[in-house]
């Protein structure tokens, strides 16, 4: 391990030296096709792979250097954009390809040295991915980080689209090492010999790794040969069937030409039916997933519609209370208007009576004056006797004048009352106008109430349609589950048959939903069926209960051992 670390560090020095020299000659801007840049990435990949632990999973062994590079996102928030962009690249399917894309992006951002320094500073986290004597865990890793700082001078323009990063095989070019040895050979022959021996050991180690990779490829080839043999058997069976069909067609041709045409059509229909069955199987799996997504989305929309209905009902109650208060205020104002109209009628009748009394008093005064003139003409000689009567008449006149004054004062008071009543009537008219405005508002509120009722009815219809659609989707789900039962051979329980979780025996509700185990077919809650595994009948990982998960893992571990 020490020799490997020394060789890798020496190759890293050489690759960075050659890269800087070529970049300075080209003007400090490099493309992806530049050979020294490609050689640098190959050496960097070997440095990151040195001492990397092999992780065993359900699918097989995994040895990718993208795992430790993902830790940079947690330790340095600036690297989150690079990791997310690498994960979102659709053409990358392996961890090796993602790690190479991450190195390309970090070099273009001139942050490769900073990111690797953050990793080496947190060696307690790297111990999960590397052996204790790996290059990233020793002092050589810090030396390489120091060498990488010099690459911040370069401007790299690398396009990740269209490149096959998953299948590339990184091989170190040792000609750089030999050139460096020739340059130093003048005064350091002994050191060059030791370097050559170290390089020989490193080449042997590389050969060992290559032999391991060749063994893995050989196992993959064996698996592919097995699958090819199976496909050849299926092809032979298909050819036998086609031969039998051709013999039947020949017999039918001998019998009749019309029957021959029908047989050809039947053969085509059989082939179409076979293709349709294969397509139906794939469509059924896709439809299952789509229906599950639709049911979740429809349940969310149902909850949102129920909340909207409750809000509309609350608004209707508020509008109803406002209408009741407006109607009560209208009744009170109508009663006040009626009472004021009665008061105005009474005042008008009293005014008429006072005017009639004034007319009677004026008539009486005129009659008294006429009587006095007549008496003066008739009794001109009886002045002394009638002076007493005249004085009495003057007194009566003064009394009548006083009465007239009183009546005038009463008339003025009545006029004031009339003015006051007119003011009150004008106020009442303004209030009547306000009442009419309130009536208009009432009508508008009633129109809004009718519109809200229409909206409520439309939403209730939409809810009913959603319920019908949900029931139809549930029926389709049951049909698809029955078809899957027939395809897979498992006993698939119906939703109505299970009211409690089979493992924890908790009752199902709106919050605790039902989930089928794709292996045994029983119904569990979300906590008891949160694991996912790839089954023979399902190419992608599907939901499995805890008991089936442990059993399948035990089987896989026993078969692997």
Ordered DSSP codes for 486-542: HHH------STT-SB-TTT-PBP-SSS--EE-TTT--EE-TGGG-EEEE-TT-SSEE
Region of poorest pLDDT, from 103-107, 399-403, 491-495: 491-495
Contact criterion met (CB below 8 Å) for 148 and 140 = no
Contact criterion met (CB below 8 Å) for 60 and 133 = no
At 218 the pLDDT is 79
At 525 the pLDDT is 93
**In a 3-state reduction of DSSP, which class is residue 253?**
helix
What mean pLDDT comes out for the span 131-141?
Answer: 84
Give yes or no for residue 475 having a pLDDT over 70: no
Q: Where does the pLDDT of residue 2 fall: very low under 50, low under 70, confident under 90, or very high at 90 and above?
A: confident
Start-to-end CA span in the chain (Å): 28
pLDDT digits (tens, 9 = 90+) for 486-514: 445 456 788 888 888 989 988 888 788 88
Give yes or no for residue 61 having a pLDDT over 70: no
Contact criterion met (CB below 8 Å) for 104 and 160 = yes
Q: What is the pTM of this model?
A: 0.35
Q: Among all chains, which residue has been given the structure tokens 């109607």? A: 327
What mean pLDDT comes out for the span 384-405?
Answer: 77
Distance set, CA 546 to CA 14, 509, 539, 553, 554 (Å) = 53, 21, 20, 11, 12
Give the DSSP letter string of 3-56: HHHHHHHHHHHHHHHHHHHHHHHHTSEEETT-HHHHHHHHHHHHHHHTTBPPEE
At 68 the pLDDT is 85
Higher pLDDT, 381 or 136: 136
Q: Report the alpha-carbon distance of residue 519 to residue 463 in Å, rounded.
A: 35
Structural domains present in the chain: 2-173 (1.20.58.900), 300-485 (1.10.287), 490-560 (3.30.40.10)
Q: Report the alpha-carbon distance of residue 13 to residue 115 in Å, rounded.
A: 19
DSSP 8-state assignment for residue 78:
G
Higher pLDDT, 264 or 441: 441
In what helix (H) or strand (E) does residue 399 lie, and over which residues does it extend? helix 383-488
| Residue 107: closest CA among 46, 58, 44 | 44
Contact criterion met (CB below 8 Å) for 368 and 393 = yes
Looking at beta carbons, which pairs linking 364-373 to residues 24 or more positions away fall under 8 Å?
364/400, 365/397, 365/400, 365/404, 368/393, 368/396, 368/397, 368/400
At 79 the pLDDT is 82
Contact criterion met (CB below 8 Å) for 131 and 102 = no
| Residue 84: closest CA among 96, 97, 70 | 70
At 523 the pLDDT is 92
Most confident listed range (54-58, 167-171, 237-241, 316-320): 237-241
For residue 117, what are its two tokens? Answer: 């320094």
Q: How many residues does the chain have?
A: 561
| Residue 372: closest CA among 356, 351, 387, 357 | 387
Region of poorest pLDDT, from 26-40, 77-91, 143-157, 302-316: 26-40
Q: Where does the pLDDT of residue 561 fall: very low under 50, low under 70, confident under 90, or very high at 90 and above?
A: low
At 186 the pLDDT is 45
Q: Report the alpha-carbon distance of residue 33 to residue 213 in Å, rounded.
A: 26
Q: Report the alpha-carbon distance of residue 201 to residue 194 in Å, rounded.
A: 11
Q: Where does the pLDDT of residue 554 fall: very low under 50, low under 70, confident under 90, or very high at 90 and above?
A: confident
Give yes or no for residue 342 having a pLDDT over 70: yes
Higher pLDDT, 268 or 375: 268
Q: Where does the pLDDT of residue 59 fall: very low under 50, low under 70, confident under 90, or very high at 90 and above?
A: very low
Most confident listed range (7-16, 85-94, 161-170, 546-555): 546-555
Share of the chain above pLDDT 70, in %: 82
At 487 the pLDDT is 45
Residues facing residue 530 across a β-bridge: none
pLDDT digits (tens, 9 = 90+) for 356-375: 877 887 787 787 778 767 77
At 205 the pLDDT is 66
Q: Could you tell me which residues come within 8 angstroms of residue 462 by beta carbon, excluding any fewer than 6 positions away?
A: 305
Give yes or no for residue 169 having a pLDDT over 80: no
Question: If you compute the radius of gyration of the chain from its CA atoms, what whole number of angstroms results?
Answer: 53
Give the DSSP letter string of 188-209: -HHHHHHHHHHHHHHHHHHHHH
pLDDT digits (tens, 9 = 90+) for 173-204: 666 655 554 554 444 555 556 666 666 666 66
**In a 3-state reduction of DSSP, which class is residue 260?**
helix
At 483 the pLDDT is 45
What mean pLDDT comes out for the span 418-439?
Answer: 84
Q: Report the alpha-carbon distance of residue 51 to residue 83 in Å, rounded.
A: 23
Most confident listed range (55-69, 92-106, 178-192): 92-106
């Amino acid at each position: 391990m020490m020799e490997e670390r020394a060789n890798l560090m020496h190759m890293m020095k050489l690759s960075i030296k050659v890269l800087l020299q070529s970049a300075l000659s080209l003007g400090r801007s490099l493309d992806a096709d530049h050979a020294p840049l490609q050689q640098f990435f190959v050496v960097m990949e070997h440095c990151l792979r040195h001492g990397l632990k092999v992780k065993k999973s359900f699918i097989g062994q995994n040895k990718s250097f993208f795992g430790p590079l993902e830790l940079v996102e947690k330790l340095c928030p600036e690297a989150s954009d690079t990791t997310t962009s690498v994960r979102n690249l659709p053409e990358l399917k392996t961890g090796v390809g993602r790690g190479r894309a991450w190195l390309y992006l970090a070099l273009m951002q001139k942050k490769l040295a900073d990111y690797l320094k953050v990793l080496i500073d947190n060696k307690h986290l790297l111990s999960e991915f590397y052996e204790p004597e790996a290059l990233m865990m020793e002092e050589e890793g810090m030396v390489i980080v120091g060498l990488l700082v010099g690459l911040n001078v370069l401007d790299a323009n690398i396009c990740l689209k269209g490149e096959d990063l998953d299948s590339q095989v990184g091989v170190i070019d040792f000609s750089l090492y030999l050139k460096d040895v020739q340059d130093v050979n003048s005064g350091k022959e002994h050191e060059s010999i030791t370097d050559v021996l170290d390089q020989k050991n490193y080449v042997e180690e590389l050969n060992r790794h290559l032999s391991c990779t060749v063994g893995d490829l050989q196992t993959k080839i064996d698996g592919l040969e097995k699958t090819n043999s199976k496909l050849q058997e299926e092809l032979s069976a298909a050819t036998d069937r086609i031969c039998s069909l051709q013999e039947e067609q020949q017999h039918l041709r001998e019998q009749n030409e019309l029957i021959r045409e029908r047989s050809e059509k039947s053969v085509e229909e059989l082939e179409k039916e076979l293709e349709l069955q294969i397509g139906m199987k794939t469509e059924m799996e896709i439809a299952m997933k789509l229906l599950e997504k639709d049911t979740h989305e429809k349940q969310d929309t149902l909850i949102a519609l129920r909340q909207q209905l409750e809000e509309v009902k609350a608004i209707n109650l508020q509008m109803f209370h406002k209408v009741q208060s407006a109607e009560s205020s209208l009744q009170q104002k109508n009663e006040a208007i009626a009472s004021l109209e009665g008061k105005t009628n009474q005042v008008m009748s009293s005014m008429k009576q006072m005017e009639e009394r004034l007319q009677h008093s004026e008539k009486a005064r005129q009659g008294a004056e006429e009587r006095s003139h007549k008496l003066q003409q008739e009794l001109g000689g009886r002045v002394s006797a009638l002076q007493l009567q005249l004085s009495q008449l003057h007194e009566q006149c003064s009394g009548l004048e006083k009465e007239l004054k009183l009546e005038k004062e009463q008339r003025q008071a009545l006029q004031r009352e009339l003015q006051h009543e007119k003011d009150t009537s004008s106020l009442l008219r303004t209030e009547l106008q306000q009442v009419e405005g309130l009536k208009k508002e009432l009508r508008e509120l009633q129109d809004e109430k009718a519109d809200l009722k229409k909206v409520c009815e439309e939403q209730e219809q939409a809810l009913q349609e959603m319920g019908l659609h949900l029931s139809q989707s549930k029926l389709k789900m049951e049909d698809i589950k029955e078809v899957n039962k027939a395809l897979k051979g498992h006993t698939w329980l119906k939703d109505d048959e299970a009211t409690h979780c089979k493992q924890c025996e908790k009752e199902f509700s709106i919050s605790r939903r039902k989930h089928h185990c794709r292996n045994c077919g029983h119904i569990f809650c979300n906590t008891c069926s949160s694991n996912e595994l790839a089954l023979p009948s399902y190419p992608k990982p599907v939901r499995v209960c805890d008991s089936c998960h442990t059993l399948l893992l035990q089987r896989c571990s026993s078969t692997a051992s």
